[in-house]
A and B are shown apart, each in its own frame.
Chain A
Amino acid sequence: MIPGDLKYTKSHEWARIEGDTAVVGITDFAQEQLGDITFVDLPALGAGLTEGAELGSIESVKAASDLYSPVTGEVSAVNEALASEPELVNREPYGRGWLVKVKLAAAPENLLSAGDYEAVAASDH
C-alpha cells in the first residue's frame, strides 16, 4: 500500500506536505519489514531536522533501525500516543501511526513520488 498523495524517501519514510508543514511517518513496507514495533524514539518539540539526517530510531522485537528525516525544518508536534501504543505504527502507518509534524524551513529536494518509491520497495524486498 503506497498512497499516491505522499512523498517518500529511499529509507522508507513518508511526508505529507500541507502548506508549510509536513507530517512524517514510516511506510507500510517499512513497518512490515520491522515486525511488531515496541518503541519509537522521537526528537523533542522544537528540535531542528535536516533532510536526510537522523530523526530518531524505531525498535521492534528483532530489529532496531534509524529514522531519517524526509524534510528540513523544526519539529512542531510529536505523536505522543506512540509512547504507550507503538503498535499504532504497525496498524496505521499512514494514519494514527504518524511520527512528527515539521514546520518546513526549506522545500524538500530529494523526495520520491509514489511510483518511484514502489520501485525502491520492490528492490529492497
Chain B
Amino acid sequence: MPYIPHTPEEVREMLQSVGVANVEELFADIPRELRPASFDLPPGMTEMGVRDRLEALAAKNRIDFVSFLGAGFYDHYVPSAVDALASRGEFYTAYTPYQAEASQGTLQAIFEFQTAVCRLFGMDVANASVYDGGTAIYEALMMAVRQTKRATALICETVSPIYRTMLATFTEKLGLTLTTVPHADGLTDFTAFEAALDSRCAAVVVQNPNFFGAVQDYAALFAKAKSLGALSIASAYPVMASLLATPRSMGADICVAEGQSLGLPLSFGGPYLGVMTCTKELARQMPGRIVGRTADANGRTGYVLTLQAREQHIRRQKATSNICSNQALCALRVLIHLCLLGDEGLRRQALNSVEKAHYAAQRLTAIPGVRLLNDAPFANEFTVVLPGTALESCSNLMRWQYVPGFPLTRYYPGLENALVVCCTEKHRLSDIDTLADMIGALQ
C-alpha cells in the first residue's frame, strides 16, 4: 500500500506483541450495528494515474486569457525563490511550534513576518496570520468589541462586498450590529459616515484603496471615531502599501489585509492569509498565534508562542477566538517575498502596476461613452462606466480571450454598467491597447 511501510511479517510481529490474532480484533469496541453500510470508493491508483487525472482536470480550466480581474485578489509576479524555499519539507511538514526548541525555524520566520507586516503598515504588533483577509476584518471587529465593550460597528459599502457578505453571517449571528454606510459614486461618503458615528460605536471599517480602486484620506474620519471612543480599522492592499500613506499615519488602530498579493498564487481562492496588525495598546486583544522573543538559560536568543493563555486550548469557551491555526506556510511565503523584493522591489512592482492602470484608464476613457465612475485618485485599479452593461461587455470580450474586469452588478445595484479594471506589472501595454480597441469596437 502506498505510504504504509509495514510488511506482512512486521504486521504479524506487531499483532503478536499486542496479543491479538488479527487487525479486526483491534476494532472490537465498535459495535456491530455501527459498521459501515457502505464504503463504496474507487480502487486506488498509481501516482502516475492520479497525476494524469488531475492534469486532465487542470486542463479543463481555462487560463489562456488576458485578464484585468482583480477585486481583492491579484496576479503579481512571484519570484522563483519563494516556491523553492517555502517548499522545503522542514517548513511544510512541521506543525504548530509547540516544542519551541525544535521549531526555531518556523518561530523566527513568524517573528520576522510579524516585523515585516508591522513595518509595511506602520503598526506595532502583528499576529502570525488568520485564514484570510475577510476573517481578519471579522477578528478586528471582535477586538474592537472586546476593547470598547460596545456592540455596534460601521462599515463602508466600499469595503469588499465579498468580505461584507461573509461578515454578515458572523456578525448577525454573534450579536454585533454592523451597519453599512452607503457609498457615493464608489467613494466613502464622509458626511454620511460621520453622521452615523456615535458613542455606541465600537469601530469603523474602511478599505484603502477601496473596492472601486479609489484612494482616499481617512484621517478626519479616524479622528472623529477616536473622539467618540471607537476604534478605526483599515483594510489595506499590501503591495500598494509600499506607495500609499500608512493606515497608522491616518490614525488607524488596526490594519488588516489579504496577504495573497505578496507571493501567493490565486489558486481559485486559497489558501491565502489574513494579515492582522494593531497598535501596542491593543496587543492583548489580538487573537490567534503570536510569537515573542525570549532567551534560554544560557542567554541565547530564541522565539516562542506567547500570550497563549488567551487561546482556546487553555481558555476553552472563554477564549478570545476559536481559531487555533494560522496560515504559517502562507505567512512564510509573504515574508520570503518581501525579503526578496525589499522596499525598492515592492515599490517598483506597485508603481509599474499603477502606471499601467493609469495608461489603461486613459485609453478606455478616450472611447466615446466610456467614463470613470469618479475623479478620485486611484492606484492600480479603477472603475469605468460603459455605455452598455458590464456583464454583456465581459461576455463579448471573453469570446476573444479577454476578461476586461469585474462587473459590479451583482453587489451594487444601479451600477450595471460599471466595471472594475485592474492592472499589475504583468500586463503588457499591447494587452491594454487591445482591451481598449475591443471595448471601443463594442460601442
Contact = CB atoms under 8 A, between A and B. Distances in A.
Q: Tell me if B's interface is mostly helix, strand, loop or mixed.
A: helix
A82 to B, nearest CB: 14
B297 to A, nearest CB: 15
B51 interface: no
A63 B309 CA distance: 5
Interface bracket on A: 10 to 19
B309 A61 contact: yes
A59 B318 contact: no
A39 B284 CA distance: 10
B242 to A, nearest CB: 35
Interface string A58-87: 011111101000000000000000000000
B285 to A, nearest CB: 11
A102 B209 CA distance: 49
A42 B309 CA distance: 17
Interface residues of B, number: 8
A62 B314 contact: yes
Interface in A15-68: 38-39, 41, 59-64, 66
A63 B307 CA distance: 10
A62 B318 contact: no
A64 B315 contact: yes
A39 B306 CA distance: 12
B76 interface: no
B284 A64 contact: no
B127 to A, nearest CB: 17
A60 B309 contact: yes
Interface in B295-311: 307-310
B318 A66 contact: yes
A60 B308 CA distance: 9
Nearest to A39: B284
Contacts of A62: 308-309, 314
B32 to A, nearest CB: 43
Which has the most chain A C-beta neighbours within 10 Å: B307, B308, B309? B309
A122 to B, nearest CB: 25
A61 B100 CA distance: 14
A61 B310 CA distance: 10
A65 to B, nearest CB: 9
Contacts of B309: 38, 59-64
Given A63-B314, A64-B314, 6 more contacts: A39-B284, A59-B307, A61-B309, A62-B308, A64-B315, A66-B318
Interface of B: 284, 307-310, 314-315, 318
13 contacts: A38-B309, A39-B284, A41-B284, A59-B307, A59-B309, A59-B310, A61-B308, A62-B309, A63-B309, A64-B310, A64-B314, A64-B315, A64-B318
Q: Which 7 A-B pairs have the closest CB atoms?
A: A64-B309, A59-B309, A64-B315, A63-B309, A64-B310, A63-B314, A64-B314
